[in-house]
């Protein structure tokens, strides 16, 4: 399956931060203007509405209980509910002496191509190598 991730921060509409659509060769995730998440599949005419619970892996009860609830009684809050997951992954990695899935080396791998593409563009499209700083294991983490 192939997927394309688009970051549309500079579009003239939709003034909020979030995942609106994920388009793949076999299926697509959409968020309607009203905020209703939907899943569509190849050769299936109707989209399937998704609930918030269907879109999230469950967090341990003790993690959810540590978060203050928002006005709607949810612990997920801003940034499409990512904060409890990010904190849980970070704390769990420390507790189990492992590198978190979301880490500086992984972030550098996502960021470096864009930085190098910009440098290339400033040099009339000159081919430049994208550095790879390895992973946390190679740095003794």
Task: Answer for the pair 114, 106: CB distance below 8 angstroms, yes or no.
Answer: no
Q: Which of 100, 80, 78 is nearest to 90 (CA)?
A: 100
pLDDT 10s digits, 73-119: 666 666 667 788 888 899 999 999 998 888 888 888 889 999 999 99
Helices (H), the chain: 52-55, 61-65, 82-95, 104-122
How far is it, in rounded angstroms, from Cα 31 to Cα 33?
7
Q: What is the pTM of this model?
A: 0.57
Q: Enumerate residues 6+ apart whose C-beta is below 8 A from 68.
A: 75
Percentage of the chain beyond pLDDT 90 is 21
């Amino acid at each position: 399956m192939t997927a394309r991730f688009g970051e549309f921060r500079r579009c003239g509409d939709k003034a909020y931060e979030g995942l609106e659509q994920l388009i793949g060769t076999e299926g697509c995730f959409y968020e309607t203007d009203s905020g209703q998440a939907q899943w569509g599949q190849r050769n299936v005419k109707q989209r399937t509405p998704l609930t918030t619970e269907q879109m999230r892996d469950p967090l341990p009860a003790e993690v959810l209980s540590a978060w203050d609830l928002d006005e709607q009684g949810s612990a997920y809050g801003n940034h499409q509910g990512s904060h409890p997951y990010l904190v849980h992954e970070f704390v769990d990695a420390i507790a189990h002496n492992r590198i978190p899935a979301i880490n500086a080396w992984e972030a550098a791998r996502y960021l470096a191509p864009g930085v190098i593409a910009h440098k290339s563009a400033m040099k009339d499209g000159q081919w430049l190598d994208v550095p790879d700083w390895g992973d946390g294991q190679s740095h003794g983490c």
